[in-house]
Amino acid sequence: MAAKPRPARAQSRRKAPSAPGGRQPSSFARLRVLSAVLPIVVLALALAVSYAVWQRERREIERVLKEDFDRRVNDAVSVFRERVQGYEQVLRAVSGLFASSRQVERIDFHTFVRNLKMEIHPGLQGVGYSMLVPPGQLEMHLAEVRAEGFPTYALRPEGERTVYTSAIFFAPPSAAELSTIGSDYFAEPSRRAAMEQARDTAGVAVSNKIRLPGEDAREVQPGFRMVWPVYRNGAPLGTVQERRENIVGWIFAAFSMEGLLGSTVGGERGSLALEVFDGSELQGEAASSASSSERVVVDRVGGESSLRLFSAARRVEAGGHTWMVTAQALPNFATPIAISQLQLVTIVGGVSSVALALFTWALMRRRLRSLRNREELQLAKDRAEAANRAKSHFLAAASHDLRQPTQALGLFIATLRAMAKKPQLRGEEVGHIASRLQMAMEGLGRLLNGLLDVSRLEAGAVEVTLAPMPVQDMPTQVQNAFAGPAQAKGLKLKVVPSRLWIESDAVVLARIVSNLVANAVRYTERGKVLVGCRRRGEGSRVRRVVVRHGRLSVPSSFPRPYRGAAISPLLRCASAE
C-alpha cells in the first residue's frame, strides 16, 4: 500500500474556514446576486413612480385642454348660430322690399342688396329672387325677361310641368348671375322641399346640403340655400291653403360652408376642424354617433406628446333647420408649453430613475467589496492559524526523530568509552563505530535541515532546482538512515536498487523520501517497509517513488487533517517533478 500523503493545498480545500460572523461562503454569492437584482428592481420601481407622475400630469394637462376645447366649440357653435340668424335677417330685409313695393325692378333689387353690405356676412354668396310663373303666362314671362337684355333667357330644366318657377334676380352682379337666371329650383326635389316648407309656414327654411354651382356662388363648393316666401301684398295668410294660393315667389340666399366655418372658428381654424352636417340627413348609426354630446378619440399629438385629441358634436337649431356641428382638435391644438411640460416630466423621470438605479448599484458593489475583503481577511487569518497549528504538530512529531540520532550518538559515545578501557583496540571496531557516528550525525543534520527548510518553505524561500540524478544513491541513504530504527521495531526494511536516472531536486527529494520512510517505520506495527522506484507513463521516465508498508497504527491524538503535515510543505516543492 503506497503512502501518498495529501498536499497541504488539498487539505485546505477539505476544510474551508467559515466566513466572518458565522456566515457560510454562500452569503457572498447571495449578496452578489442581490447586487445585480436590486438595481433592476429599484429602476423598475422608479420608472413606475415616474410613469404615475407622468400620467397624473398628462391627465391634468388634458383636463385644461378639454376645458379650452369645450369653450372653443361652444364659441364656434354660438358664432355659427349667429351667422345663420344673420342670413335670415338678410332675407327678412329683402322681403320688406317686396312688401313695400307694388313691383320690384331689377335695378331696385340690386341697389337694395348692395346697401345690405353682404361682406359683413361671411360665407354669404349672394341673394336672389325666384318668382312663381303660372303655366298660362310662361310665354309672356319669357318675352318680358328677354326684353330686359337677356335674349337667350329660358327656364331650366326644360319640359312641361304643373308649376314653373324662375330665378330672375341675383345680386351682387357677377358671372354667377348669368348661370342663375332662369333656373327652376322648384323642379329639383331637394330644393322644392325647402320652398314648400317656407311657403306653408310663412317662415324661413333651409335646403339640404347642396353643391353650389356657378349659378349661386362665385366658385363651386358645398353649401346650403335659405329661402323666404313672398306673398301678394295684402292677401290673407291665416291658413296653409291661403298661403299656397297667394304665393308669388321666394327670396333665397346661397351661402357656402367653407366661408361660414372659416369665419366661425376665426383665428382658431388652425387648431380646430369644424364640419356642419344636415341634421335631416343623419340617420341610423351616423345620427347616433354624431348626436353624442362629446366623443374622445385616442389619436396622439404628432405622435410625440401622447395627449388625446378631442372630438365633439353639437345639435344646433337655426334658421328653422336642424344642424349638426362637429369639432375635431387638430394636432397643434395642444400648446407647445403643454407638450414641453410632458416631455420635461418624461426626461426628468427617466434620468432620475437611471441615476437612482446606478446609485443603488454603486452602494451594493461597495457593500460586496467590503464583505469580500472581510471574508478574505478572515480566511487568511484562519489559514495562518491552521499553518501555525500544523507547525506545532510538526515540531511535536519531529521531536521523536530528533531524539533517535541523539540517543544513537549517546550509545556510540558510551561504546567508545568502553572500548577505551580495553588494552588493545582493533582498527575495524573503531572504524565501524566511527562510520556509525558519522551516519548518526548525518541523520541529525538532515533532520535539522528539514526543520529549517520547513520554515523556509513557509516563507517561500526554498528554490527547487531540477537536474538529472541517479536513483541508486537514494536507496543507499535510506538503508543507512533507517535500518537501525526498523530493526529496533522488529520490522524488515527492504530497499530495491535501481539504475534509472531521474530529473529532480536531489536535496528536496531526499528529504521527502526520508519523511515518507520515517513515517512508515514509525507507524507500522508489523511486517516490512519496501522502498523503490516505479516506472509509469511513456518512455522510461520515473513517475512515482513508492513506499510500501505493513499495518499502520496512527495515534488517535494526532489530528486527522494534519497527519503527514510534516512532509506536506516538501511535497509542494516536489510537485515540480
Reported confidence tier of residue 176, pLDDT bands at 50, 70, 90: low
Q: Rounded to whole angstroms, what are the CA distances from 144 to 305, 313, 525? A: 67, 49, 156
C-alpha–C-alpha distance, residues 230 and 268, integer Å: 39
pLDDT of residue 130: 92
SS3 458: helix
Beta carbons of 164 and 184 less than 8 angstroms apart: yes
pLDDT of residue 262: 67
Helix, strand, coil shares of the chain as percentages rounded to 5? 55, 20, 25
pLDDT of residue 573: 32
C-alpha–C-alpha distance, residues 575 and 211, integer Å: 106
Question: What secondary structure, in 3-state letters, does 348-380 show?
Answer: HHHHHHHHHHHHHHHHHHHHHHHHHHHHHHHHH
pLDDT in tens, 329-349: 877 777 677 777 888 888 998
Express as a percent the part of the chain with pLDDT over 90. 9
Residue with cell 413612480: 49
Phi, psi (deg, nearest 5) at residue 476 = -65, -45
Q: For the ranges 156-165, 258-267, 338-347, 401-410, which has the lowest average pLDDT?
A: 258-267
pLDDT of residue 129: 92
Q: What's at 326, amino acid-wise?
A: T
Reported confidence tier of residue 45, pLDDT bands at 50, 70, 90: very high
Burial class (CB in 10 A: 0-12, 13-18, 19+), 171: buried
pLDDT in tens, 136-148: 888 898 898 888 8
Q: What residues pair up with 504 in beta bridges, in sequence order?
A: 467
Least Cα distance to 264 among 334, 194, 326, 333 occurs for 326
SS3 208: coil
The CATH class given to the 27-334 domain equals: alpha beta
Give the number of other Cβ atoms within 10 Å of residue 191's Cβ: 22
Give the number of other Cβ atoms within 10 Å of residue 502's Cβ: 21
User: Which three cell numbers, joined as nine digits, stand for 8?
Assistant: 497541504
Q: What average pLDDT is seen over the chain?
A: 75
Least Cα distance to 102 among 247, 227, 232 occurs for 232
Q: Rounded to whole angstroms, what are the CA distances from 231 to 103, 156, 193, 387? A: 12, 23, 18, 129
pLDDT of residue 423: 75
Indicate whether 103 pLDDT > 90.
Answer: no
Reported confidence tier of residue 548, pLDDT bands at 50, 70, 90: low
Q: What residues pair up with 470 in beta bridges, in sequence order?
A: 501
pLDDT of residue 567: 34
Q: Which of 194-203, 251-260, 404-413, 472-481 has the highest mean pLDDT?
A: 194-203
Cite the DSSP H helix spans in 252-333: 257-265, 284-290
Express as a percent the part of the chain with pLDDT over 70. 74
DSSP structure class, residue 16: P
Reported confidence tier of residue 414, pLDDT bands at 50, 70, 90: confident
C-alpha–C-alpha distance, residues 279 and 319, integer Å: 13
CA angle in degrees (0–180, nearest 5) for 10-13-14: 90
pLDDT in tens, 475-524: 777 777 787 778 878 888 888 887 778 888 777 777 778 778 877 887 78
User: Which three cell numbers, joined as nine digits, stand for 475?
Assistant: 536507496
Max CA separation in the chain (angstroms): 192
pLDDT of residue 243: 92
Indicate whether 197 pLDDT > 80.
Answer: yes
Indicate whether 37 pLDDT > 80.
Answer: yes
C-alpha–C-alpha distance, residues 433 and 121, integer Å: 147
DSSP structure string for 39-76: HHHHHHHHHHHHHHHHHHHHHHHHHHHHHHHHHHHHHH
pLDDT of residue 458: 63
C-alpha–C-alpha distance, residues 331 and 514, integer Å: 95
